[in-house]
Structure 1
Amino acid sequence: MLMRLQQALASWQPAQSFDIQPGTAGVASPHRLATEWAGFRLQSAGQGYYAKVLFDDQKALIDFQRSAEISRQAGELGIAPSLCHADPHNGVLIFAALDDSFRWARLDALRDPHHFASLTRTLDKLHHSGLPLPLHSRQRICCDYVFSWKHWVCNSQKSCGGWGNVSIWRGKHSTPRPIHPF
């Protein structure tokens, strides 16, 4: 994995040397006991970067080009660090490092209405950005299952526990379909 990162760095910035340190360990994945990417903090000539290297066993499951494109667009929207380089051959994404104003998202901070409102505005910006949704993915299949199950529970119990009117994906349709479970 480190060798693939070094190869990606050499092809992106051949004249620079990088100090490579392990990044923050991933916490969870929807389909794995670890995360799909390994993280590395990078330093070169006073500039900080963060690299994500796709684990070999995840290459068949993760659409690298799509991940790179969504990462690039999220950076352009200002809701994520800017994507500096994508190396599909080595499975490496390199981002600008977060600056000193970065703070960890903690539950106690999200309980503060100001922080929660800020998070909501950021999510609205993402959802209204027009980023393309996948036509087919393992994650979408999983979401179909979860939301179909939720729809069945809501209809059988005539209560949705606050889920209310939500949109789900059905089969191969490319647009969300509203559910009115009540």
Structure 2
Amino acid sequence: MKKFFFVSVLASALLLGCNNNKPGAITVKSEDGKTTTTVNAGDMATVAEDYQKKAEELQKLAPYTLDQLKAMLPEEIGGAKRAKYSANSAMGAAYAEGEYPMNDSTQVNVKIFDCAGQAGAGIYSMQYLGMMNFQSESDEEYTKTVDFNGSRAVEHLDKNDNEASFMYLAGDRLLVTVEGRNTDVDMLRKIASNLNLK
């Protein structure tokens, strides 16, 4: 149901964002009134053009190999050593993931997607571009777009499950998601700031 609500709001924003009247922010509440979603439709059309150009550039790049992606995962994050890692290439899009247990109850995962090539550019468009200028908040969770390292990032916090994520673009082609269990977004943002991905 939440996905349907998000898709409905995103579709409305995209349609209105293409309007020459350049509307401002669109805010929609769910039927039960618990979730509020805001999309800045006025900025979305301009941003979409820029990101569409970026997606076209990404399609022309040669994707990294799985070994190259695995080598980008840090051995250690915030004093926690990498417990395990994996790398996969599904339908032409390659990604690597590392798991970093901080203690018995806290774990951080780092996922790196290569957005090069046609499949990678598709991931860039669906997972990153689709979240620009988006904000959703309820008593249980929130998702919003924030400024990060001169670009944009998406942060999410699930208050009930105490899980958070922070997603951003690094090195002009790597879609990086830092996820944490029993962590907050500030901790994930700090980890992301210290990752040296180019």
TM-score, length-scaled by structure 1: 0.31
What is the TM-score normalised by the length of structure 2?
A: 0.29
Choose between structure 1 and 2: higher strand proportion: 2
Higher relative contact order (CA 8 A, sep 6+): 2
Question: Considering only CA atoms, is the larger Rg found in Structure 1 or Structure 2?
Answer: 1
